[in-house]
Each structure stands twice: as C-alpha cells, then as structure tokens.
Amino acid sequence: MPLKVGTRGSRLAMAQTATVCEMLRTRGVETEIVPIGTVGDDRTGVPMHKVGGQGIFVRALDDAILAGEIDCAVHSMKDIPAKRPGGLLTCAILRRDSPADFLVHTCPLEEVKVVGTSSTRRRAQLLRSGLDVEVKELRGNVDTRLRRLNEGMYDAIVLAEAGMQRLDMDLPGTRLLPQWFVPSPNQGTIAVVSGDDPEITEPLSALDDPTTRRDVEVERAVMEEIGGGCFTPQGVYCSEGFLIAEVLSLDGTRWERIEDNGGSVLEGRMIGQKLHSIAYDLIEEARVTLGA
C-alpha cells in the first residue's frame, strides 16, 4: 500500500509535499497525497494570534496521523509549535532552503509606502529598517497575497524566499538579509512528521539532513526558552552553529539581540534563557497589547 502523506491544500504546501514524495519515490517508496483543511487556511481574515497562533496550520494534520487517517504529514517547520501531542515524531528535516524574507514590489523601493504582512516580527523589523512605511495586516496563501498586491491594496508584501523558490516564482523586489531581518525560527525548512511505527519512520528518516536538523533544533531551543508565543516579534537564525536571536517591540523602536555560538541545544537553551531575561519587558508588552 502507498504511504499516505497528509498536507494542507495550498499551492505551496502541495509543492512541498510533492518534493517529499519525489524524494521517497527515488528511494522506491510509493506515496499518495491527502490534502487536509486546517483552521489557519479557513480563517484567513483573522490575525494568527487570535485564532490559535503557530499551531493553526498543524493540528488537523496531527489529529489525522493519530487517528490513522494518514501515515505522515509534511509541514513548513516554522509552523510546528513547541508543544506537541504524544506519539508524534519529526522523522525528517530536509536540507534547508533560503531562510530569508523577500519584499515583493514593482515600484522603486523608496516609493513603497504600504506593506502587507500578518507577522508581528516582520512588522517590527520593517518599522525598524528606516523605510518610511505603514504596515497593514495581510493573511492568506501566496496567491491571495500576490492578488491583493496586484489589486493595489499594498505597495509591497513580504514572502518567504524559500516559498517563492519552491513555487518557481521569479518576482521583482528586494531580498531582506537574514543578518538584519532575522527570520522566524526554522524558516526555510520542511519537516515530515509521523507516528512511531518503524515501518513508516524508517523510509522517512532517510530524507533527514543532519546539519539542518542541528541548526533548527538549536533555534527551537532558543524559541522555547524565549516563550511569548506567536505574538512576540522574535527572530532566531542558526547557520552552521552561529546563532543570531532577537526580540523586538511591536513598533520596532526597541530590541534586544544576541549573537553567539549555538552549536548545541544546550547552548541554545542558555542563550534563549538570557534573551528571555533581558527582553522580558518587550515580551510582556506584546502580550498585554495584543491580549494574547
């Protein structure tokens, strides 16, 4: 029987899942793609922190695995929350694609005045950047956001560069350097989650990239120690053991930042604890302001 691979139904999610299935096919594993709706896809008009935060794209797929409806699920790793149901394993983390954000715009950068994004991190970093812009709420899949840009509702929108690459999109605009626009933890990585059945986990684990796994596990350790949930503007990026982590105020006028070696989960936890301590006021301010 083919391996039933669950995914969200968006074009990007389907493309990511097709990549995983092709990798499995070359290893002699037959697959069947099973699209599953999620709360995050259904409620695009509501900010993420008001509909359940980071896990809104994941829970339905988790439930389907635990119910035996699918064998595994493909996720953008950054969508997977820190707290996970028992009985689930992250069997494979694929080699990381670009971690960077990309500002899509057709007019000159200096003429960009209204930018669309739903991310508090992206909002804060844009407001910090020196660009004279207003940042307005924008949710939806990549096609929806591009349509609203083309309709003139925004002068620019922010997309993950990895998503553009996976959809083979060559869009005009400006790449936002990860060293300054520090990405969301695990941005640019694809994860495959399953139950603990060895007949399923064994073929999936062959897709794992150890270097990427180490970096994203460090990032997740920092994220878990910072806390604050999806409402806190925070960026965490580890590349081959070098770590940049920051927490910003919602308006981008204040931030705390650490750059250090992050070669292990333990080092990540220590850095996350330190950043939580020095950025506590920013975390609490975001929580109170957004009512999270």
Catalytic residues: 79
Tell me the C-alpha distance between 244 and 185, whole Å.
Answer: 10
Helix (H, G, I), strand (E, B) or coil at 71: coil
Of the candidates 121, 118, 124, 120, which has an alpha carbon nearest to the alpha carbon of residue 142? Answer: 118
CA proximity to 253, closest of 131, 136, 125 = 125
Q: Is 240 left (phi over 0), alpha (psi -120 to 50) or beta?
A: left
- What kind and span of H or E run contains 15? helix 11-25
Cβ within 8 Å of residue 274, ≥6 positions away: 258
Beta strands in the chain (DSSP E): 3-7, 31-35, 72-76, 89-93, 101-104, 114-116, 134-136, 156-160, 173-176, 190-194, 234-239, 242-248, 255-261
Question: Residues in the chain, how many?
Answer: 292
CB atoms within 10 A of CB 109: 13
Q: How far is CA 259 from the centre of its chain?
A: 21
Three-state SS across 212-263? HHHHHHHHHHHHHHHCCHHHCCEEEEEECCEEEEEEECCCCCCEEEEEEECC
